Structure 1
Amino acid sequence: MLFAKLLMPRLPMQPQRVVFFAPLVGAGAGQQLMTFRNFSRRGAIVISYEYRGHPQSTGKFELDKTIVDTHHALIWASNYANELGLPLHGFATCYGAIPLLAQFKKGGCSHLLRSISTISGLYHLNQILRIEDFAPIVSRYLGRELDAPSLLTEIAEEVLDYDGYAFRQALREYLSELMPDLRVGLDYFEELNYERVKTRQTLLQFSQDDYLDGVNVPPWIPCTAYIGLQDELLFARAPADRETYKNYVLSVVPHAAVREFEVDHYGRGPDHDPVIEYVGDDFERADTSPVPPHHVYQAPHYQGVLQ
């Protein structure tokens, strides 16, 4: 069971659209809703949820399952939007872009969304997390040399004690240095407790899988990727790095528009409010954009997916 939260427009404003917000790893369902409350002020019902293994959802977390969880949550959101007669839009920041865009692979729910918008979205896992950067830290804590391939082999073959104190120390150091604004401990990442993580599978999936291979976003679905010019996490401050980010985006969605704003990875900066308003404009434009008749798709009705 996945836990979800909805942010409704304040009365007397009537809902105009539904925005499906794919969450971050470690985030509770309501963690970022208030950051983007301007969407609801412009008539959006904003839906977000928690991946399995998170505080109010059941099950154990692994990266592969974020794709499955998003699939089920998106179908639920589509049914909800259809019942209200409202268009459904997809939105994500950082990691959330990956499970959202993965719905546009074969077998996904690609025809449920009228538009996609991302702010500082990941379009490949190695944009942030690199096993080559993690291996030297693990080596230092273990007291023996491991390169990236050796580390992956020892994790895969369960030679390495990835639940042990030394490995947990290395993981905390790596994540804390990478994302100093987030809460990282020996046994938790933000709201995700490691006891509810399938550690071996998740480590290998972060290191080896490319979830966006085979993504095919139809050209009639607008896609806009917003990049923060102060985003040190995505290395987007230098012109060459920004060009690399654009190439990542266009390799996944060739017709995507890439826009630059003065914000950091967490949306902080002088353009915080303008970028949110621009995304709201994207939703409004796409509300009335034409949809080819043969692409109109009725989602299967799922019950009991979200609570």
Structure 2
Amino acid sequence: MDEVGFFNNALDALPEHICIINNIGDIVFVNQAWVDFELNNSSTQSTDWHKINYFDICKNSISEDNDDISLILSGIEAVASQNSPSFSFEYPCHSPDNHRWFSLNCTPFKSNQKTYTLVQHVNITQKKQADINSNIDALTGVANRRSFDEFFQKEWLRCARSLSPISLIIIDIDDFKAFNDTYGHVKGDWCLKTICNELKQLVNRPSDLFCRYGGEEFIYVLGNTSSKQAQEICTKIHQVLKELNIKRDAIKDSIRVTVSAGLACVHPSNFNNKIDLLEYADKYLYTAKSQGKNTTRCHYCESEICSPKNCSY
């Protein structure tokens, strides 16, 4: 067997999807795993990959809804033009039947005085699912405390860079211990899941997160969100609980389950410690609890425009 055939067979034996391109993006080799992936995931005829330019594939796939392709194209072009030593990127590649994630890795190499780039797509679905599961609360199915810590850190830094406000809303179910003691833990668990299922739908931006902080306490992280905007969400929270109308007739002072909320908003550029924001929100939650429950207490900006100057404590 000649040397080229030997290494082609070796690459065909790999489970990873391998593609080799030249410095202008023309595909010069794909392995069997690459071909099989197309056969198993496309209803069209098999592609003659040796007549395709990889950069063109990326450009034709760019859309307003997904800017990952632009980042991938820029990264691969940088490696192919020898402006970057390597490039890696994790991305989702979901099908109608499965959620999948891949890791793309680009590495340059030389052969016969020419520079090529090896593009490798590795299926990391199992690892990604494990990461996702470790960030999900098992009972309610929403993000957990670990997810909050990671997301809050990233969003804090992002808002600091963009000079944007960030808001936290801490929610606590009023008298939940009494509800559990009266109706039992099975009904208590159902109550938590029912409330979470509704409250998580109030936010859906990439800069937002709804999570279970612990017990019957929950938190919204709202990036690029002013105090006034966050108050609108608090109004919706109380409306959701009213519409759910979870009965608790056997407990005095209220005929339905309610929540109390504490809201705090800051510009991270004004603060050195993100824990301050958490403590402010917790303080307002305590005030809401002590002043009658089923309400929201918060810091109000002095101006209609939320800016670092007027959004301060």
Range of TM-score over shorter length: under 0.3
More relative contact order in 1 or in 2 (CA 8 Å, sep 6+)? 1
Asked which structure has the greater CA Rg, the reply is 2
Q: Which protein has the bigger strand share? A: 2
TM-score, length of structure 1 as denominator length: 0.23
TM-score, length of structure 2 as denominator length: 0.23
